Structure 1
Amino acid sequence: MTSAVATRSRQPTRRKQDTSHPQGPARQDAAPRAPQRSPHPDTPDTAEDFARLLTLPEGAEREAVRQGVITAWLPMADRLATRFRDRGENLEDLKQVAALGLVKAVDRYDPERADAFATFAVPTIVGELKRHFRDNTWGVHVPRRVQEVRAKVRTALRELSVSLDHRSPSVAQVAAHTGLSEDDVLLGLEALESYKSLSLDAELSDDDDGYSLKDRLGTLEPGFGLINDREAVKPQLARLPERERHILYLRFFCDMTQTRIADELGISQMHVCRLIARTCTRIREELGTAPEPADSPEPHPEQDHPEPEQERTAA
């Protein structure tokens, strides 16, 4: 009995010695250490696939491995795209941009020069998203320096509004906070309003009258182009004889035909046609706008004479 107790008392001591010895049998029975997991479940282990891409020649097999790697990392690209979802862009468009960045990262990644693919892919995808916002989302083209100034001003406004109890900071305060000049701060504030353009169909009121911005825009008045011409011919018209001036008035301002003018004045229609042609030619010559001889046909009867609107334009 004494020997049995002694045997049981020696067993814990022997187990402790075995586990502490690096070559003991307990070392062989220990479970292998689990690999370190990424904090995100969308970062798969594709080290073997990247190693195969280095050895495979161009062809269908290599393209299949490449597509498999891209598909495996797409969830991470979608996650990075969601970081920018509150900036006015459609989330699906951002996911497409992130997928494009992922493709570039897969094609450029060299496992012999970089550690893990995620450390290389994340900056590439985020850079592609930022480039998309910089180059494709502005309503007007803005230089890159102005965009950087705008980003600093926007960050300063957000930080200062918290410290100032949500009061809007002054230009001088923003300049002191960012280290920019006041002119650059004003430039950044102006750029803040240039990111998105306002649609002409945007309604300006909450009523149901459909009053939009384009309803407040003026249109080009076609009569403005005739002001200079009318002012130029006024002196020439004033120097015309009374009958010729009256004929021009009836023809071009009252839209009367040559036959009606002839009946009112008691002369022939051909005579009216010749008077109009001669008077218009004289006015053109005095203004220095007389046409070439080939463009000055002889007056024709009523059926061949231009319509009143065409004559008014010629005059």
Structure 2
Amino acid sequence: MTAHTARTVGAGTRNLAGPTDDLPWIEDAGKVAPKDARILSRLFFDRLQLLEEGTPDHQYARNTLIEMNLSLVRFAAGRFRNRGSGDMDDIVQVGTVGLIKAIDRFDLSREVEFTSFAVPYIVGEIKRFFRDTSWAVHVPRRLQELRVDIAKAKEALAVGLDRDPTVQELAEELGITEEEVTEGIIAANGYTAGSLDMPADTAEAGRLNPPGRTLADALGAPDPGMETVENLHTLAPLLVHLDARERRIIDMRFGQEMTQSQIGAELGISQMHVSRLLSRILRKLRSGMLVEE
């Protein structure tokens, strides 16, 4: 399908030049029919991989792809409508994060439909949302399951013993160590939590805490740099496995903040070639970081 034909496809499209001559201008991408969205998505993905990140053209293409494919998020979110927790708007918002990840990682050379590629990302993000938000604090899956086993064993033993079982008795019933039972009991405390708006309760509350001071007032603020540090620690060993030219390209692009055109001029290659090299390098690094996770 040519770009001219694309300009006439789908609701909300107009026969106007968009930010780039090779892409149609879509006035309301969210109203494009799913069938037309599949056709237009291939056109936008084909162009996106040639555009330089951070440019208006790249931003337009990426944002349009997100809006055109929001129907995939709504479709996936509908499967979780009766889960009993989580507002539907929150579920759609979380699913949109999965859609964005899929768009950033999709490669036309895979020769698969974007819908088939994107839905697992969307559903996975929504499932992760339900898993993490059903607990007051994040607890590893192993301990979440152990909490259920301990509760069942405690109830069964209490009937025969006419009292609450001890840690040792629970361990024998479940065939695990007493340390594991204790760990599971402690983890169970994370299922519910007290309000941070409760008054701070300390032995010296009158002296240390002014009237009206809550637990939230005593908490430190999150450090936005911590996530960056963690990502850098994960990324560092992966960079060692890149060859010299790949490391140089990464340094020029993200260390020196050079544009793809500037990198191309430095290396004596075209901007398009730089774009392809960057895409390949970043895919390699992303795969390595996902394995680490």
Q: Please, what TM-score do these two structures have when normalized by structure 2?
A: 0.39
Higher relative contact order (CA 8 A, sep 6+): 2
Q: Please, what TM-score do these two structures have when normalized by structure 1?
A: 0.37
Larger Rg: 1
